[in-house]
Structure 1
Amino acid sequence: MRIALLTESTYSNAQRGAGWCGRLADGLVEHEFQLYLLARGERPGPAGAEPGPPVRGLTAVHTLPMWGRRPAGRGPAAHRRGPYRKAYEQLVRALVLPAERSSFGPGLYRLAELARADGALPAFLASGHAQRVLERVWRSPGADTAAGRPLVRDVLVAGDLLEQCLRPLAADWYGTGPGGIGAADLCHVVGGGPAALPALAAKQLHGIPFVVTEHGLHLREQYRSYRTAPYRWPVRALLLSFFRLLTEETYRQAAALTPGSAYDQQWQQRCGADPARIRVVHEGSPAVAREAAGPEPEQPTVVWAGPLEPGRDPELMLHAFAKIRAELPGARLRMYGEEGVPGYRAHCAAIAARLGITAAVDFEGRPGSPAEAWQAGQVVVFSALAQRSPRLLADAMLSGRAVVATDVGVAREVVGPSGLLVPPRSPLAVAGACLALLRDEERRARLGLAGRLRAQERFAVEPEVTAFREIYLELVSRWPAFPAGSGRRLQPFARPAEYWVAGSARPEPAAPAGGDQEPATGASAPGALAEVL
């Protein structure tokens, strides 16, 4: 099966060879993967960077710079400006007029068709024609952001941002020749957001189904990041409207959704996803093969890990440790993590001084590895107000250390009965849980072992790879082999079944007939095939 992996990442990540995309391609060697990367940069890689090892099963990497200078190219011909303006106006009206939200998909797909025909979309979106459409619709009566009275500079800034967000529609990826998404049997979107645009376009242009995997919801992260974005609020509102409607359209069109946790599944359903098409697939971690942490330190020690920021609530840990210290004078607290908010480390140090525990608290900064942090303590505490990702929790459990976590987000799902869950914002509860474990070595060992076994079972790489093998076959088996009006040479698989059982006598498949014989644009050298998330 030919699978197009679509994701958004940075060029620096292109040198890593053991991440999620690499593990998937390496585990499913019976399929052929090509990676289509929306890269946050303008150059194919940092100067002097050494290519990483090639990933087995990943045959090519295609990159599209997402941010920065728009691609070179001429605008649409005079007779095509009208269709461009009409499609763009349809899209913008969906962003700002509540009564016209349903026009987002048609406007998006019409722009994709126009861009496929002449490649003039980036130049059009940067033109005065598009800016006048955006300004007129944005300031029309009844617009969501009309009360903000968007200024001319807001129109210019929002126009540039929309051009960057819509840039994947103009990529030269949609042919049916070798290297084109149109030749794939299935698209796999990793991360959501703009990475879903090529999959939506491929489904519209070629009838190709797609699956979406999110390890942390893209829309939720956009809402968090735009709170501090350097734009006026009308621009932020417009862009968040775009991401919200794009997410809803992606969930509506996806053949399957595979969130990394049941917590994310609930968010997807709130965004309109069909529960029947959702299957939770926990993100596998190579850390399951790591040995458990060694002997515990002799001195009673609590480890806290995470960015030093209000959302992780290190203040709760400090207040809880003051109560622990009152009961166990010899206890120590080691806090691992970089400063997430400027000046927040000094703020935490001031709280420790006020509580009289400065001598027993060590701010260790970023550890060399997570395993180094877990090794340093007897109990690991997570005091976050919102635990969105299971990765750090699972890594701590894999160390074999007993875990105490606030009962928020994914904590109950990940920790379950193998650790202690406490209410958020309760120093007394955190202190009580820590004291119970620090005073009972046998219980610490029992919960640590239970947590390690639970994490190994849920977050191993093999079950994740097996789940996607089943999902791929299920989707392709029930998807129409001959979708109406797709215009492609319709063949569900590139090779017949005999190919996989014929031993070494494997003929090479013939080149696709009847499609666009386009070269694989943007393919990197073999060494750069180790692209990961």
Structure 2
Amino acid sequence: MRVALITEGARPHPRRGAGGWCARLVDGLVEHDFELYVLAGSAGSGVAESPRGRWLGVHELALWGRRAAGRPPGALRGRQYVRAYEGLVRALVMPGERASFGAGLYRLAALAREDGALPAFLASAAARRTLERVWRSPGADTSAGQPLVRDVLVAADLLEQCLRPLSAPWYGTGPGGLGSADLCHVVGGGPAALPALAAKQLHGVPFVVTEHGLHLREQYLGYREAPYRWPVRALLLSFFRALTEETYRQAAILTPGSAHDQQWQRRCGADPARTRVVHEGTPAVARAAAGPEPAAPTLVWAGALEPGRDTELMLHAFARVRSGLPAARLVIHGEEAVPGYRAHCEAVADRLGVAGAVEFAGRPGSVAAVWESGTVVVFSALSQRGPRLLADAMLSGRAVVSTDVGVAREVVGPTGLLVPPRDPQALAGACLALLRDAERRARLGLAGRLRAQERFAVEPVTSAFREIYLELVSQWPAFPAAGAGGAAGEQPRPFARPAEYWLADRRGGGSAERPAGGDEGEDEASDERSGALAEAV
């Protein structure tokens, strides 16, 4: 089958390393054809082709920067755009009209499909006047204060960038069009779901959503520091919340990367019957376990140096560890994410009297070397949103101590020690218990490695999506936009295309309706066999 893989702002294949999640999925499902659609941060980001040439095509759309040139709609057409845009904005600012978000969104997508004037309209004075009128109307939720003129200008520009995927040249049933795909696979959520939503509305193509870390949650965290006034923040967060709810409502299947993310999705309206946890596979499962432990008892800590990782908690716990085990050392790996935070942590270590036993090692050369340099791996974060770093530490075979937050309990389970957050006494006690018991460390380290290998191997991920793809295609009409080849008035049927259809050389530009190279008599016989097979299905 043909799968349209839609993602946002990241290369599917990094410049270095073994390739990303998208690459591993494509290389694992060699029986399917994948076409890549990327919402890049800016034009000319240089999305790389797959090393194995697995992509049928690579399409890129810049979300930021200069908007696409185009003529604005005429007077009559402009009024249709205004009505659709007004319905969308009212759904964002009027508490009683939230349900009309989808209708406004799909109307804009349909208009953009017909004349391609959406970018010019969103940048026009008519769109700004519509936004200002609705935003300042009685009953609008502006989150502390009326929007100023500058707020209208900023919000109009941000909404244009968010809605830009609706005007992408990706729709239709021709080559490279999403309407000719069997299904869409959205990786990441957010604006990346807009093409899939439009493809389902315009062409009836189902889609799957995979989130490794929730896009909506990251928006809420990011907009706390955004350089906009509160009315603008409230409007944009309302857009992302409405988009997330509509995405969860329309998706055929949701595949969060953890049960922790699954709970968040359910709070945003996701149907539990259409939600399946698929852990993010990593090729690190094939990596050898770490070598011998260092001679001195060493605690190793890794992560960004920021208050959310609570490096201060680690330092206070280490001061207690040193009082019970004077030979202990602490190595902290990570870059400074908040200016001045490393100097603050160094001052805390000096005040606690452990500065001589604490090493701030900066960014490591390799993650495997980080775990090998320690006796016990410690995580002291206030929130653990992703399982990747925890799983990588467990794959080293070192015993793990972590605060019981986020995905930690789900990932570590009974193979490590979990302590309450913001409790230096409990963290120090867990670290001392493992540093003093080599047999327990070895037992927990081996159990953690086996658990991580079982849950985060690449093969279970590809197997899960192989089953999901086949399940969706078996329940969804093939090519619904084209009527699936049925008679007039006949309902489209699953697997309506015969098996011979897939024998064509679709990459080489051959006929998509019959195998190349046959004469007229052979074509007629093939058509008869195809019709009989279609009736049997």
Indicate whether the TM-score tops 0.5: yes
2:135 aligned residue (133, 138, 149): 138
Q: Closer, same or farther in 2 for the Cα pair 1:15/1:507, shift >3 Å? A: closer
Change in 2 beyond 3 A, CA 1:317/1:22? same
3-state SS of the aligned residue for 2:72?
Answer: coil
**SS of residue matched to 1:59:** strand
Alignment partner, residue 182 of structure 2: 185
Partner of 2:376: 379
Read off the aligned partner of 1:92 and give its amino acid letter.
V
Query: Given residue 4 of structure 2, which amino acid in structure 1 is its aligned partner?
Result: A
The alignment partner of 2:23 has SS state of helix
Secondary structure at 2:332 match in 1: strand
Question: Which residue of structure 2 lines up, in the alignment, with residue 510 of structure 1?
Answer: 511
Alignment of 1:440 with 2:437, yes or no, is yes
Counterpart for residue 418 of structure 1: 415
Report the AA paired with residue 6 of structure 1: I
Alignment-mate amino acid for residue 456 of structure 1: Q
User: Is contact 2:12–2:22 with CA below 8 Å preserved after alignment?
Assistant: no
**2:371 is aligned with what amino acid?**
W
Between the two structures, name the one with larger relative contact order (CA 8 Å, sep ≥ 6): 1
User: Does 2:43 match 1:42?
Assistant: yes
Instruction: Summarize the alignment of residues 225-236 of structure 1 with structure 2, pairs less than 5 Å apart.
Output: 225-236=222-233
Do structure 1's residue 248 and structure 2's residue 249 form an aligned pair?
no
Matched AA of 2:284: A
Q: Give secondary structure in 1 for the equivalent of 2:249.
A: helix
SS of the aligned residue for 1:43 comes to: coil
User: Is this contact kept in 2: 1:15–1:52, CA < 8 A?
Assistant: no
CA contact 1:25–1:55 (8 Å) conserved in 2: no
Aligned to 1:8: 8
Q: Which residue of 2 aligns with 1:460?
A: 457
Contact 1:481–1:491 (CA<8 Å) still a contact in 2? Answer: yes
Q: What SS does the corresponding residue of 2:221 show, helix, strand or coil?
A: helix
TM-score (structure 2 length as normaliser): 0.90
166, 169, 172: which is aligned to 1:172? Answer: 169
- Tell me the equivalent position of 1:527: none
2:509 and 2:82 map into 1 onto residues whose CA distance is 46
Q: Answer with 1 or 2: which has the greater Rg.
A: 2
Distance 1:495 1:449, change over 3 A: farther
Conserved? CA contact 1:28–1:57, under 8 Å: no
Which residue of the partner structure matches residue 28 of structure 2?
27
Distance 1:495 1:442, change over 3 A: farther
Alignment partner for residue 259 of structure 2, among 259, 262, 266?
262
1:367 and 1:495, CA in 2 relative to 1: closer, same or farther beyond 3 A?
farther
1:320-364 Cα deviation digits (max 9, x unpaired): 000000111111000001111110000000100000000000001
1:148 aligned counterpart, secondary structure: coil
For the Cα contact (< 8 Å) 1:205–1:486, is it kept in 2? no
Deviation per residue, 1:85-135 (Å, 9 max, x gap): 000000000000001101100000000000000111011000000000000
Q: How many residues align?
A: 506
Q: Does 1:224 align with 2:225?
A: no
Structure 2 partner of 1:211: 208
Is this contact kept in 2: 1:190–1:214, CA < 8 A? yes
Q: 1:59 to 1:493 in 2, by over 3 A?
A: farther
Q: Which moved more, 1:85-94 or 1:138-147?
A: 138-147
Amino acid at match of 2:73: P
Task: Answer yes or no: is the 8 Å Cα contact 1:87–1:107 preserved in 2.
Answer: yes
Question: Which residue identity does 2:8 align to in structure 1?
Answer: E
| Corresponding residue SS for 2:198 | helix
- The offset of 1:510, in angstroms, is 2.4
Match of 2:151 among 154, 169, 182: 154
Alpha-carbon distance in 1 for matches of 2:50, 2:118 = 36
Pairwise CA distance, 1:370: 0.9
Cα 1:52/1:101, change in 2 over 3 Å = closer
Contact kept in structure 2, 1:6 and 1:190, CA below 8 Å: yes
State the secondary structure of the residue aligned to 2:56. strand
Q: By how many angstroms is 1:77 displaced?
A: 2.1
**Gapped runs of 5+ residues in structure 1?**
514-533
Cα distance in 1 for partners of 2:412, 2:293 equals: 21
Unaligned 5+ runs, structure 2: 486-491, 515-537
Q: Is 2:477–2:496's contact at 8 Å kept on the other side of the alignment?
A: no
What is the CA deviation profile of residues 392-451 of structure 1, one whole-angstrom value per residue up to 9, with x for unaligned ones? 000000000000001111000000011111111111111111111101111111100000
2:415 and 2:11 mapped to 1: Cα distance?
39
Question: CA-to-partner distance for each residue in 1:436-471, whole Å, 9 max, x for gaps?
Answer: 110111111110000000000000000000000000
Give CA deviations for 1:133-158 in whole Å, capped at 9, x if unaligned.
00000000000007511011100000
Question: Quick check: 1:297 aligned with 2:294?
Answer: yes
* Aligned equivalent of 2:398: 401
SS of residue paired to 2:114: helix
Separation of aligned partners in 2, 1:38 and 1:456: 32
* Further displaced range: 140-149 or 167-176: 140-149
Q: Secondary structure of the equivalent of 2:140?
A: coil
